[in-house]
C-alpha cells in the first residue's frame, strides 16, 4: 500500500457527521494543509475533537466560519470569538474538558479502554450529568474514552511506511490521536526513504498511519506561511 498521497486526495476519506480528531495546540502541530482541503468539500455537521478551534483566519477557525462544525470537544475555545458567540446562541455544541482529561480520554480511546475516573472537575459545572464514585474516600467522576472516525495529525518527518517524528512541543496531542482514529492521515514537513529515520526517535509507528501528505506550510518566525 502506498501511503503517500496528494493533498487533493484527502477529502474522499471524510463524510458529513464524522467525528474528527485534530492535532495541535494553538497552531503548533496543526495539520493546516488537510484542513484547507476540507474547506473544498461539501461535508457538514462535523464533531471536532481538538484543543481549540484555530486562531483567527487560520486552521479550524476557517472550517468553523464555513459552517461545517456542529460540535466541538476540547479545552480552549475562547480564542475563537465567533465560536463563543455561536455557543451562546445555541448554534454550536461544546463539550469542555480540562486538557489533561482530554488527553487521557483520547489515550484511552486508542488503547481500547472504555473510560476512566478522575478527580479533576469534581463538584464543578463540568461534572454535571457524569457518573460520580467515591474511591478511597475521595470523589471521582467518570470520563468516557474518545475516538474518531478520522484523525488528522501533524508531524515533522515521516518515512514512506508512515513512521513519524515530531518537533518538540508540536508533538502535543498528535501521537495519542494517531492511535484513536479509524483512519489516520498524517501531514508532514518532510518525507524520507524507509531506513532513513533512527528507530530510537520514532514516536508513532507506521502501523497507526494510513496516509501521508506533504505539508504546504512552513514556519517563519512565529507564523505558519503557505509555501507550496
Q: Over pLDDT 90: what percentage of the chain?
A: 88
pLDDT of the residue at 106: 98
pLDDT of the residue at 192: 97
- 81-122: pLDDT as tens digits: 899 999 999 999 999 999 999 999 999 999 999 999 999 999
* Average pLDDT rounded to a whole number, residues 18-47: 96
* Average pLDDT rounded to a whole number, residues 10-27: 96
User: In the structure grid, which three cell numbers stand for residue 106, read together?
Assistant: 483520547
pLDDT-based confidence at 180, cuts 50/70/90? very high
pLDDT-based confidence at 226, cuts 50/70/90? confident
pLDDT-based confidence at 222, cuts 50/70/90? low
Q: Tell me: pLDDT of 27 over 80.
A: yes
Q: Tell me: pLDDT of 56 over 90.
A: no
d(CA 82, CA 63): 12
* Average pLDDT rounded to a whole number, residues 65-75: 96
pLDDT of the residue at 55: 85
Q: Is the pTM of this model over 0.85?
A: yes
Contact predicate 143/105, CB 8 Å = yes
pLDDT of the residue at 1: 72
- 122-175: pLDDT as tens digits: 999 999 999 999 999 999 999 999 999 999 999 999 999 999 999 999 999 999
Q: Tell me: pLDDT of 66 over 80.
A: yes
Q: Which residues of 142-165 are buried (b: 16+ CB within 10 A; e: fewer)?
A: ebebbbbbbbbbbbbbbbbbbbbb
> What is the average pLDDT value for the chain, to the nearest integer?
95
Q: Tell me: pLDDT of 228 over 60.
A: no
**Residue 124 Cα distances to 138, 140, 212, angstroms:** 15, 12, 41
pLDDT of the residue at 14: 98
d(CA 60, CA 50): 9
Amino acid at each position: 500500500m502506498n501511503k503517500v498521497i496528494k493533498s487533493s486526495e484527502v477529502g474522499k476519506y471524510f463524510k458529513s457527521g464524522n467525528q474528527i480528531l485534530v492535532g495541535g495546540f494553538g497552531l503548533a502541530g496543526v495539520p493546516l494543509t488537510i484542513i484547507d482541503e476540507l474547506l473544498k468539500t461539501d461535508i457538514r455537521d462535523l464533531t471536532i475533537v481538538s484543543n481549540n478551534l484555530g486562531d483567527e483566519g487560520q486552521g479550524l477557525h476557517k472550517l468553523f466560519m464555513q459552517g461545517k462544525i456542529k460540535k466541538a470537544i476540547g479545552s480552549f475555545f475562547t480564542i475563537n470569538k465567533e465560536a463563543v458567540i455561536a455557543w451562546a446562541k445555541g448554534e454550536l455544541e461544546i463539550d469542555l474538558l480540562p486538557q489533561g482529561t482530554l488527553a487521557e480520554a483520547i489515550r484511552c480511546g486508542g488503547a481500547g479502554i472504555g473510560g476512566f475516573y478522575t478527580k479533576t472537575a469534581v463538584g464543578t459545572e463540568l461534572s454535571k450529568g457524569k457518573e460520580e464514585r467515591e474511591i478511597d474516600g475521595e470523589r471521582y467522576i467518570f470520563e468516557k474514552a474518545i475516538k474518531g472516525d478520522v484523525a488528522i495529525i501533524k508531524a515533522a518527518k515521516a518515512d514512506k511506511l508512515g513512521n513519524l517524528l515530531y518537533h518538540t512541543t508540536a508533538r502535543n496531542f498528535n501521537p495519542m490521536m494517531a492511535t484513536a482514529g479509524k483512519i489516520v492521515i498524517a501531514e508532514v514537513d518532510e518525507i524520507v526513504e524507509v531506513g532513513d529515520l533512527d528507530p530510537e526517535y520514532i514516536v508513532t509507528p507506521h502501523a497507526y498511519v494510513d496516509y501521508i501528505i506533504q505539508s504546504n506550510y512552513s514556519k517563519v518566525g512565529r507564523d505558519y506561511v503557505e509555501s507550496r
